[in-house]
Amino acid sequence: MKLIRYAFNQDGILGHLSDDEGNQVACTMEHSYNGLPKLKAGTYRCVRGKHSLHSRPTPFDTFEIMDVPHCTGILFHPGNWSGDSNGCVLLGRVCMDSDQGKMLTNSRVTFNRFMLDLEGVESFTLTVEDGVTA
């Protein structure tokens, strides 16, 4: 899979997630730390496992992005706003402007589809690129 980021805003870092054939899987949003993400450009292994979040304490199945320098627990998960991410990659259908800033739509549905499409997959390789339009 490939994550290509196209906007580095204070209210979220935006990108597109594509499968190995180049088909868009989701729009993405990550929390912005002074315009920068926790997840740096590079290649990572993503591993399926049970995880929980402060906002979602019941463990759920997702993929963790492994070996992120100086970070652990970088996950793919649903969320609509940059504040829903603590460096994780939020998945949604569309990124749009709202009165509160940038937001993702249909995040839970998009995340569930992502997990369904990867049913039976225990790990995959993710390439992250910055500053390239999708």
Whole-angstrom Cα distance, residue 15 to residue 3? 7
Strand partners for 17: 3, 26
* pLDDT at residue 10, rounded to an integer: 83
pTM: 0.93
Return the ∠ at Cα 27 (arms to 13 and 86), rounded to 5°: 45
| pLDDT on residue 101 | 84
pLDDT recorded at residue 56: 80
Predicted confidence at residue 132, as pLDDT, reads: 54
The pLDDT averaged over each successive group of 10 residues in the chain (134 residues) is: 93 94 96 91 97 88 96 95 93 91 94 97 97 56
HEC profile of 50-100? EEEECCEEEEEEEEEECCCCCCCCEEEEECCCHHHCCCCEEEECCEEEECC
